[in-house]
A and B are shown apart, each in its own frame.
Chain A
Amino acid sequence: MKKRIRTILAPGIRLQITLWYTAVFILLLVLVGVVSYLNVNSTLDANLDTSLALRARQIALGVSNDDGQFTIADVSGELPGLGTASNTATPATSDIGSANGQSSDDSNDDSHQTTPAVATNVDAATLIRIFNSGGQLVYSSLAARILPLSATLPQQAHSGVPWYTTVSLAAGKTVRLYNLPVLRGGTVYGVVQVGASMASIDTTLHSVAFGWLLLAPIVLLLGALGSYWLASRAFTPVSRLTRIARQVEAGDLRKRVPVPRARDELRELALTLNDMIARLDSAFARQRRFVADASHELRTPVSAIRSLTDVALLQEKTPAEYRDILSDINAEAERLGRLIGDLLALARADEGYTPLERVPLRLDSIAHDVAAVSAILARERGIELQVETSGPVVVLADQDRLLQAILNLLNNALAYTPANSGGNITVHVSRDETDAVLSVSDTGIGVAPEHLPHIFERFYRADPARVYAPGSSGLGLAIVDWVVRAHNGSVTVESIVGSGSTFTIRLPLATPATIRSGKNGAI
């Protein structure tokens, strides 16, 4: 149940990609929308400002002041109410009066009777006012009369630089005003103010925004569907890889997934998969080889035991003959047991389950102990065995494993040194700055260079067939290698064919620190 919930909560990769794409789409849409909205807004504002300035300049051409006499000529044909007034000159005073006073409404009523609604609507009508330098209204178009008067107008006009103002009216209407000071001989004598409602800009902007809001969900939906489709398409090769990878079973690791030619992530994935399969293949092959070798090695003592018992039962024998056969069977059984022990040790090592009980050990003493055991066999085979040590050498090691490793090295040396021919085996223990060094040198048959790299492999025998190595399991050196590596050491071999081999074990010297941590069982 819990798992199912998690499965539902964890969306598949296609859905994830779709969601990510959609999020990016939203971000882009918002970004583009805002930018284009602002862009449209500023373009419209700039256009409005430009047209206001143009119109103001055109009107200013018709405004003149000769000796304090304000004259307005409608050169642009844009000054409503002037048509009925004097075309050439209007006394400033009278015009001011008519423009400012309520009565002027009446005087202009006749001429604008046809479009009174348009005239008073700031959105549609022309907004023009003309002031004198004192800020007094000289002329006002009909619709402009509802605009408030600015007290700061004369001060602002004084610099002679045109400026914009934005006025908010009741009913939420906004009007943009362009104020153009009119100069004569470097002196401001009046201001032409041209205005326009910003309602049309707002309308345009609203429609842009509305269109955007309408379009965005559709774009989003299409984008999401498109990205889902793309994600599905993009993962088709992955599905194919998966299908083929699933066909590769443990039993048949010769198969490989096809590698796409394009140098992309899928090729990487295919190569990685193939690499992994190849490694599995070789691991399985090694395992199969090991099992085959092990069964072969186990067969020999078993067949000896069977043959011995079969022959014993073939016909009646003397008690002495039976005793001989029984002791042979006993020896073979012992060999079988040793082989099984070795196999088990290596199998455990492979599993990684190898508890090592590390204690401080005198490597030099251990060398003497092991040599004392091997000396019996060495004497039997007429081989001289000596141990050379120089003072205590302490390592931190599992005593049983270390004994086993050194014993295996000595057995190996004994097996490959011909009997009764003046053979010699030397165990040498020394130390350098960091390592304890134990070497086993023999004067035996040696190992050919081509066999040296494989000599620590399981069941590897330098001779394609066997030399006389009683009780040898073919695992001795593999166990030495494992034990030494488990103790962070190394084992190397040097050999000259015909004159002997030297195996050298290097183990880290025990230091007070490692002894403490070893005793605490931290390793």
Chain B
Amino acid sequence: MRILVAEDDPRLGASLKQGLEESLYAVDLVADGESALALAQEISYDLIVLDVLLPRLSGFEVCRALRRQQRKMPILFLTALDEIEQRVTGLDLGADDYVVKPFAFSELQARIRALLRRDGATRSAELSFAGITLDPSTHEVRRGGRVITLSSKEYALLEFLMRNPRQVLSRQAIAEHVWDIDAAHLSNVIDVYVSYLRRKLCANGEADVLQAVRGYGYQLKEPAP
């Protein structure tokens, strides 16, 4: 899952990026409102963490512009502005959540998980597909009672596929949601990661659920009976 973080405080921004990356998300960090809007218009992020007081363009303005352009990704305001009116303004502009600084990182993680499952196929915290389960809070992946140990990229890839089951996903889309902007040009390594993931998921001879769509991308599909 790919997240855009717009935070102008350099140390806090870097810390957010690091923390979210350790939570196995692909994170892009920008320090001003204009860059945030430009990136959000170009890339279909799964979630945006937005500070309000940003140079050049405020977080409120970024949110308003995105909603006007019918961008539906969840937006979470992370700001020091704690007055009721400001919270109301933020939510009324189309934000999905409003977290006031200072915050506990674990709460931010939980809220991000909640926002990511909001539009998903299931409302349960745990994702499951054809006997494969994935817990976004513990990053634990199981298949038939067997715990599967995945690398962070393998995990991110599986999470994205499991959040969009049965859909045919282009390599481009997978790259956008699994890798951050620094690795965007590496989208051709997706095939390699898919092969790693397939090997681990089918290590005990289980049926393959990762269907390749020739020349386009991949699809998470129930094994043929």
Contact = CB atoms under 8 A, between A and B. Distances in A.
B56 interface: yes
Contacts of B81: 296
Interface residues of A, number: 28
**Chief secondary structure at chain B's binding surface:** loop
Given A311-B15, A311-B22, A306 B104 contact: yes
Q: Size range of the interface on B?
A: 20 to 34
Interface in B181-222: none
Interface stretch (B5-13, B89-97, B142-150): B5-13
B58 A310 contact: no
Contacts of A467: 55
A307 B105 contact: yes
A361 interface: no
Contacts of A332: 11
A314 interface: yes
A314 B105 contact: yes
A292 B83 contact: yes
A448 to B, nearest CB: 14
Given A303-B12, A310-B106, A465 B58 contact: yes
Contact of A465 (B57, B83, B101): B57
A328 B16 CA distance: 13
A296 B100 CA distance: 10
A interface, by DSSP: helix, strand, loop or mixed?
helix
Contacts of B57: 465
Contacts of A306: 102-105
Interface in B40-74: 53-58
Given A306-B102, A306-B105, A314-B105, A466 B55 contact: yes
B128 interface: no
Contacts of A310: 19, 104-106
Given A299-B80, A300-B101, A302-B101, A328 B15 contact: yes
A311 B19 contact: yes
18 contacts: A292-B83, A299-B101, A304-B11, A304-B12, A304-B15, A306-B102, A307-B12, A307-B15, A307-B102, A310-B104, A310-B105, A311-B18, A314-B19, A325-B15, A328-B14, A465-B58, A467-B55, A468-B8
Given A299-B102, A467-B55, 4 more contacts: A299-B100, A307-B19, A328-B14, A466-B54
Interface of B: 8-12, 14-16, 18-19, 22-23, 31-33, 53-58, 80-83, 100-106
Interface of A: 292, 295-297, 299-300, 302-308, 310-311, 314-315, 325, 328, 331-332, 463-468, 470
